Amino acid sequence: MAGTKGRGEVHRALPGDVEGGLTIARAIRDPWFRCQSLALVARFLDDRRRPGVLTEAFKAADELLEPNRIVTVASWPIEVLAELGPHDRLRQAVDRLVGVIATEPHSLRRADALGAVLHRVWPVADVRSRVLGEFRAACAAGHGWRRDRLLRYTAQRLAEVDLTGANELVGMIEEDRVRRRATREVAAAAGSPSGMTP
């Protein structure tokens, strides 16, 4: 089954027909879309069945050939673990993905994939901190507007829980105009009601 079509059918099946959605997801040949679709289904399964389907999703991601693609699409089942648990399995999965992305030679691809995981694990503070450290290291090794954009977006979100860390990310931005904009956004995010509670 074609990837985008299959994923769309899974979306339409859920949450009313979880079994149908699972059948469709498993039939998707493209591992990228199969991983995403299995993660979508897993969200609606009970605690007994969810782990097995998440394992299928991670295995689908592993069929891809490039480390950054493996890690980026694996952020879909990672998000399910971050939201629904168990968090010990989340930590194990994140540790494995950090190992996978370490084999990616291109710093921007590392940062991009780690950014995808970072924003999916955001609700789990210790895992967020772990991935954030890897993300910062990848950004520190790179340059350019795409890296600056990743730093700006992440700094704005981080300001709500860690203003010092957010300002450190802003300080890594090389383009003056982008850094000034990020500085304003971080100040605004830190001043929001959600930014007052760490």
CA distances from 65 to 60, 62, 117, 156, 170 (A): 11, 8, 18, 32, 33
Residue type, 62: D
Picking from 133, 140, 42, the residue whose alpha carbon sits closest to that of residue 82 is 42
pLDDT along the chain (198 residues), means of 10: 86 96 97 98 97 98 98 98 96 98 97 98 97 98 96 96 96 97 94 49
Evaluate if pTM is beyond 0.95.
no
User: 3-class DSSP state for residue 122?
Assistant: coil
User: 3-class DSSP state for residue 186?
Assistant: helix
Residue 5 is encoded by which pair of tokens?
Answer: 């079509």
Query: Mutual orientation of helices 67-84 and 107-120 as an angle, nearest 10°?
Result: 10
pLDDT at 191: 80
Picking from 131, 150, 2, the residue whose alpha carbon sits closest to that of residue 74 is 131
Q: Count of residues for the chain?
A: 198
pLDDT at 190: 87
Domain range annotation of the chain: 1-63
